[in-house]
Amino acid sequence: MAESEQSQRRSRRDEVDEELSELPTTDTAKKDELDADVDSLLDEIDDVLEVNAEEFVRSFVQKGGQ
Amino acid sequence: MLRVMQEPHVSDPSRGRVLGIETEYGISALGQPVGEELHPMQLSNHVVKAYAAYASGPGAGRDAGWDYETESPLRDVRGYEVARNQAHPDQLTDSDLGMANVILTNGARLYVDHAHPEYSSPEVTSARAVVRYDQAGDRVMAIAAEQATQRLGRPVRLYKNNTDGKGASYGTHENYLLDRQTPFDRIVSQFTPFLVSRQVVTGAGRVGIGQASETAGFQLSQRADFFEAEVGLETTLNRPIINTRDEPHADAARHRRLHVITGDANRSEISTYLKVGTAALVLQMIEAGTLGVGPAGAGLRLLRAVPAMQQVSHDPSCTALLALADGRRMTAVDLQQVYLDACLRWLDGRGADLPDAQRRENADLVTRWQEVLDTLRDDPTRLADRLDWVAKLALLESYRQRDGLGWDAAKLSLIDLQYADVSPQRSLYAALVRRGSLQRLLDDAEIEAARTQPPTDTRAYFRGRVMDKFSADVVAASWDSVIFDVPGRPALQRVPLLDPLRGTQEQVGELLDRCDDVASLFDALGR
């Protein structure tokens, strides 16, 4: 993965973290570990998601089947 | 050997079950077309042909044509036949209009059906084998999409899902061969509540509520909103919970093939295993006539099955109470428990008569089924490691939380769609499996073997082996026949395969190994 992409994503996540920082959090190590796991999963998925979700979803039109 | 394959069987309770599954895949081509935009039927045709060309090396199937002689899609088990000129064109599934139709060396059929590429698995005798051949179908489609992408010069996507979220639905159908002596009204009354309630186990998960996603939100099933009748012959309009198509692909005097059209297309191996395994078990018990015996099972009928189908699907908490005809109210999980308890009683009694392999699988099935029901009562989110709908919901909730998305966000619909992409690189299901987030039943090597090799214990063995070895001489084939053009013989030779449990490796394996050409095969057959 290109380094610039990595830092881009990291900064986007930081923004989200800031927005969420007012929410109450339970500060256990286990929860942090789980959160990190989810974060890395979503990062991985962000890399493979089709670009332009709105247009992609709109153009997925099927003929009916059985 | 032909005598072996045609001999009428003596009714024997220890005979294996016969099951199969078929899926119509969602399809789209991205980017600008070179000329005119392809009709989805033509696009599907390209996909099937691309796979056929890819496979035409070793392990090939071929475009052998389909033998429609014994197909009867308009015959209804209730005893009448729809006139062809009164039928909706969608119901005329026995004419292929020149569309690609490939019989694969694993005994499956790959073809174009209703503007979708469809993979119909070979006949097998266990739920685990259904999973193996179902997953092999996903591999076939992944390769087909790659190959079609190269040939067309545009990215082609295939999805193992059942709706576009805009009003269209396409099916995943399970097939169970039953004894014709079982009264059909018993199947209708006793199997319907099972099909309605099983969505808590078998749902693939869907973003959007209503046929055209009129309401934002998440529901358990891809298919639930598309059912409009309790019983009927149609599969494409006014869809019924119990489908009455009477096309056994076997001796119609002994068998009926129950065509179950309510199921979702599952990616999770465990979901498929439980979907097919529990249904097969429940059907065996219904055939044995023991469901209505216990106090809980007596009179187990839903007051209104079609709305109940939607009620279950629209309730991710799995706590909604369904109204029964006798006034009781029950959750879908408790309804499933009634069936599971009845299966346990039946297995305790009849279990000893079943073949070993079936007994072992049943024991594994009921254990997993009970675990899932217990966990659904306790905390459904803990099943994210097993069931498609829970895994998908967990992923969606993570995105909602991180990105602050409402259920109407396009990104969530994309995640729903891309969970089902058959490409191992793009599929979100595959991403979860790679991280070890979803349990598996099989390993990749088993699935890859099933992509090219037939099951050994049904007639699919004969079909697959002859497609591998003698495909140049096969003129046409169907579920219950293969037609050969044998060099030196003036007439085409039709080998009937009416009994799904004949034509096995045990019966014909050595013969097929030994014969190097189709003429020597027919000499050996004594024809």
Catalytic residue among B76, B90, B113, B408: B113
Give the highest mean pLDDT range of B248-252, B320-324, B475-479: B320-324
pLDDT, tens only, B144-196: 999 999 999 999 999 999 999 999 999 999 999 999 999 999 999 999 999 99
**C-alpha neighbours within 13 Å on the C-beta side of residue B62:** 18
Q: List B112's β-bridge partners, or say none.
A: B117
Does residue A36 lie in a domain region? yes
* Cβ distance of B404 and A54 shorter than 8 Å: no
User: First-to-last CA distance in chain B?
Assistant: 10
Domain of residue A42 covers 27-61
B120-136 CB burial, b ≥16 within 10 A, e <16: bbbbbbbbbbbbbbbbb
Please report which confidence band the pLDDT of residue B233 belongs to, taking 50, 70 and 90 as the band edges: confident
CA separation, residue B6 to residues B87, B377, B501, B502 (Å)? 34, 49, 10, 8
Supply B453's token pair.
Answer: 């090799």
- Mean pLDDT for chain B overall: 89
As for the ipTM of the complex, it is: 0.87
> With an 8 Å Cβ cutoff, is B115 touching chain A?
yes
SS3 content of chain B, % helix, strand, coil (to 5): 45, 15, 40
Q: List B102's β-bridge partners, or say none.
A: B110
pLDDT of A24 strictly over 80: no
CB B389 within 8 A of CB B218: no
Does residue A1 lie in a domain region? no
Give pLDDT, residue B60.
Answer: 47
CA–CA distance, B112 with B98 (Å, rounded to integer): 10
Least confident of B51-60, B125-134, B151-160, B325-334: B51-60
Does residue A51 lie in a domain region? yes
Give pLDDT, residue B63.
Answer: 55
Looking at chain B, which residue has its C-alpha nearest residue A42? B399
Does residue A49 lie in a domain region? yes
Rounded to a whole number, what is the distance in Å from the CA of B302 to chain A's nearest CA?
25
pLDDT, tens only, B337-387: 999 999 999 999 877 688 899 999 999 999 999 999 999 999 999 999 999
CB B170 within 8 A of CB A66: yes
pLDDT above 70 covers a percentage of chain B that reads: 87
Specify whether B113 is catalytic: yes
Rounded to a whole number, what is the distance in Å from the CA of B39 to chain A's nearest CA?
10
Which stretches of B237-357 are assigned E, i.e. beta strand?
A: 239-243, 255-260, 321-323, 329-331
> With an 8 Å Cβ cutoff, is B28 touching chain A?
yes
- Could you tell me which residue, B73 or B119, shows the higher pLDDT? B119
pLDDT of B296 strictly over 80: no
Does residue A20 lie in a domain region? no
Give pLDDT, residue B16.
Answer: 67
Please report which confidence band the pLDDT of residue A25 belongs to, taking 50, 70 and 90 as the band edges: low
> With an 8 Å Cβ cutoff, is B247 touching chain A?
no
Does residue A22 lie in a domain region? no
Does residue A3 lie in a domain region? no
- Could you tell me which residue, B440 or B246, shows the higher pLDDT? B440
How many domains is chain A built from?
A: 1
Does residue A50 lie in a domain region? yes
Handedness of CA B156, B162, B164, B165 (dihedral sign): negative
Give pLDDT, residue B369.
Answer: 98
> Rounded to two decimals, what is the model's pTM?
0.88
pLDDT of B66 strictly over 90: no
Q: SS3 of B300, please?
A: coil
pLDDT, tens only, B481-496: 999 999 999 899 999 9
pLDDT, tens only, B67-108: 766 555 545 444 444 444 444 444 444 444 568 899 999 999
pLDDT above 90 covers a percentage of chain B that reads: 77
pLDDT of B506 strictly over 70: yes
Q: How far is CA A50 from the centre of its chain?
A: 13
> With an 8 Å Cβ cutoff, is A18 touching chain B?
no
pLDDT, tens only, B409-448: 999 999 999 999 999 999 999 999 999 999 999 999 999 9
- Convert B26-76 into a string of H (helix), E (strand) and C (coil): EEEECCCCCCCCCCHHHHHHHHHHHHHHHHCCCCCCECCCECCCCCCCCEE
